[in-house]
Chain A
Amino acid sequence: DTGVSQDPRHKITKRGQNVTFRCDPISEHNRLYWYRQTLGQGPEFLTYFQNEAQLEKSRLLSDRFSAERPKGSFSTLEIQRTEQGDSAMYLCAGEGAGETQYFGPGTRLLVL
């Protein structure tokens, strides 16, 4: 158990709907990362927070995606107007002083 939780674990939605995922790292994780993993591929970086500041976004993060980390604790990732190509596993990772990323179990999204 890495101490990082994600909710929900599974989400099925219809194309065009909005979805929001939540990640809760442990309190020592001042850095938080979001990744996306599709079948047969390794995780790909989406975005990164240092405390509450979003410091980097990947080209993969289209304008339909938005992420927040209010108060530097939990984080949310929202996808607006979902498309079938958004179907993937969304992973969150927290990182503290030890510079090791601890991953949550992921949220599996299926867009019908």
Chain B
Amino acid sequence: GDSVTQMEGPVTLSEEAFLTINCTYTATGYPSLFWYVQYPGEGLQLLLKATKADDKGSNKGFEATYRKETTSFHLEKGSVQVSDSAVYFCALSATHRTGANSKLTFGKGITLSVRP
């Protein structure tokens, strides 16, 4: 079945450091890929998405590129801020583009803490 694997956490960085959070997936066909973020005390929010191979999703300085050959969707940011401290979830939807049920399969999530 479909699955998403995220790197183990938590991750602690100093402000302005470079961030990479790894995500790989297993799915039939060509899934759509997502990064969701959960800030302390808040619900899940879509951070960015990519719907086909080689697409790059970007938002708030974060980027992720859909790599079909390596089945990966790693999240990067060049300079993190304290306000980026949150839990980050990688997810896929195997039927997103067919217009059918777009149920999401999530990774376990990783907690990012950014020190001033």
Contact = CB atoms under 8 A, between A and B. Distances in A.
Determine the interface band of chain B, counting residues with CB < 8 A from chain A: 20 to 34
19 contacts: A2-B43, A33-B103, A33-B104, A35-B104, A40-B109, A42-B4, A42-B108, A42-B109, A43-B89, A44-B106, A48-B101, A56-B103, A99-B102, A101-B46, A101-B102, A101-B104, A102-B46, A104-B43, A106-B43
Given A42-B4, A42-B89, A103 B105 contact: no
A2 B103 CA distance: 18
Contact of A56 (B43, B49, B101, B109): B101
A99 B96 contact: yes
Contacts of B43: 2, 4, 91, 103-106
A44 B107 CA distance: 9
Contacts of B75: none
A40 B109 CA distance: 7
Interface string B85-96: 000010100001
Contact of B108 (A4, A40, A50): A40
B107 A42 contact: yes
A89 to B, nearest CB: 10
A65 interface: no
Contacts of A104: 43
Nearest to A45: B103
Nearest to A48: B101
